[in-house]
Amino acid sequence: MLTWLVTRKITNKYNKYEKIEIDLNNITEEFISKGWLKKNFQIVLDHIDTSEVNGKPYLPIFLRETASKMYYRKKPKTLKEVQNGTKMTGFDGYIDDSGVSFILDKIYQDIDIYDNNIDLLSNQFTSPISPLGPTIYKYFIIDTVDINGQECVNLAFTPRNKADFAFVGNMYILNDSVSYAVTKVSMNVAKDINLNFVKDLQLDQEFTQYHDSIWMLSKDKLIIDYNLTRKGRGMFGKKTIHYDEFVFNKPADKKIYNRVEKIILEEDLKEKTDSFWVEARPDTLTEQEAGVYFMIDSIQRIPTFKRFVSVASLLISGWKTVGPVEFGPLPAVFSFNDVEGFRLRMGFRTVPAFNKKNMFETYGAYGFNDKEWKYLFAFTHSFNKNFLTNPQNRILFSYQHETIFPGQDLQFLNDDNFLLSFKRGQSDQMIFFDSYKVDYNKEYHSGIAFNIIAENKKQAPLGRLKFETNDIGQTQISSINTDAFDINLRFAPNEQFYQGKNFRLPIPNKYPIFKLNYRQGVKGVINGEYQFSRVAGQVFKRFYLAQLGFTDMDDANLISFVGLGVLKGLSLINSFNSRFAS
């Protein structure tokens, strides 16, 4: 992160070392004295330490280190991070490393006090040196102090309105009557703002002078105290970053800047030796930090811990792992609606432990009211070395015999999720379909992706739903048979995901997402009865509004055009969709 530069000089390259640690805090004597804890987790208790911030006892449970090369270009302004190595404690088989990394990066974002608005914990805070600062903050000159041999003004600041998303703290500003550069800042959040579960937050930054004129951020430390229980027990998160070896006025290879992604990952990122980390770390790990890696590896072999994490994983993900397969999903085992009545479902899918490139998935479901079986058989092959590798390159073959509510398109939930059983009004109009599908998906590091689908589908009305033509007399049709080809284009620059063992969920950020879909129905390829064309476009963008929060723009009808080969067929399809939507 480039913080502040004299306009005559720029930096092109520097090193970044980041360390994130998660601890359980407020580990009291009462908690430690519990017999079952001493019996099963003595190795854990040996690593309890005391916080330097609030004096609370804490237990380190997670540690991640990242070593990177940073590249900055002033015109056009571009910042790239090439991650050379990452080392992280992990709970193998329960938590995916990539998913945890994305969550941590979202929570512990880099903070630049020279930005007008600072993203922190999914909110935007006004910086104390923003042009809008005087309207948000009150400032007080305390005195002059010596900071690393430089005379600095100690400037305190506090928000005018205690409920504003703003900081309380001190800045130490160079008293040179020329640059007034910030040499050090220490601040926390106002006590009266609503940050879920956050009891305390501390940010400390230090800047170092180069070439007698350039001040660069050299140390960055963020500490967040999460209070999760009434007794004050929760988590203690610390992020520490060191920047050094700044190189000025030596342009880097243009290939680095031409890539769309902001973070570039080296292939051997997770395979670095101990000697690499000894050189990459600006300081050696403390005894407690070094012991975290050994402790996490040890407790995974404790039966009590295995049972606890297994139950927690089932409740969170909905899937129960048994060897190379997992059964579930739990939220869809039982559901109900007015057409199928009570519905029971059970299925399984393979995990990477079975095969890193292939996944098999199947389920069976039965409705006690319509007395019909529903099922799915699917096989997915990844052309990458690992099924979880991003960007994805995979092909899916599937057959599904299932019901669905017209117009329902759930991207990240099962259609028969138990919570979706509770609807306002009646849920007695459904479609029973048979679908044979081939689905190829290819993604690129740039954020560009394309998806090609060939599908043969038979749809029949179920419940009170009817398929009718627009002819005089409104002739009813028992089913609709279509052969269709879809081409989907998607551009999502710098998109991040929470990655699970067999799924991933996008994490919204400030970058837009563009989608374009073309669907062509063809008559007579297999048993298709209608010919039609459809083009649709969509744009999603999240706007951050500083003190007001954020708002999402999601225009699903930016482009919408339908061309009819057979007017009767498409009118029929649109007819029941529009009736359901109304």
Strands (E) located in 211-340: 214-227, 234-248, 263-265, 320-322, 325-328, 334-337
Q: Which residue has the tokens 């019901």?
A: 403
Give me the pLDDT at residue 77, please.
Answer: 83
* Average pLDDT for 12-16: 90
The whole-number average pLDDT for the span 434-446 is 94
Structure confidence by residue, pLDDT tens digits, 382-401: 999 887 778 889 999 999 99
Of residues 264 and 487, more confidently modeled: 487
Tokens of 537: 């476009």
**35: CB partners within 8 A, 6+ apart:** none
Could you give the CA distance from residue 556 to residue 174 in angstroms, rounded to a whole number? Answer: 51
Closest listed residue to residue 451, CA positions, set 425, 482, 485:
485
Q: State the burial class of residue 10 (Cβ atoms within 10 Å of its Cβ: 0-12, 13-18, 19+).
A: middle
State pLDDT tens for residues 127-150. Answer: 999 998 999 999 999 999 999 888
Region 29-58 average pLDDT: 64
pLDDT grade, residue 95 (50/70/90)?
low
Q: 551 CB contacts (<8 Å, ≥6 apart)?
A: 542, 543, 545
The answer to pTM > 0.75 is no
What is the arithmetic mean of pLDDT over 235-249? 88
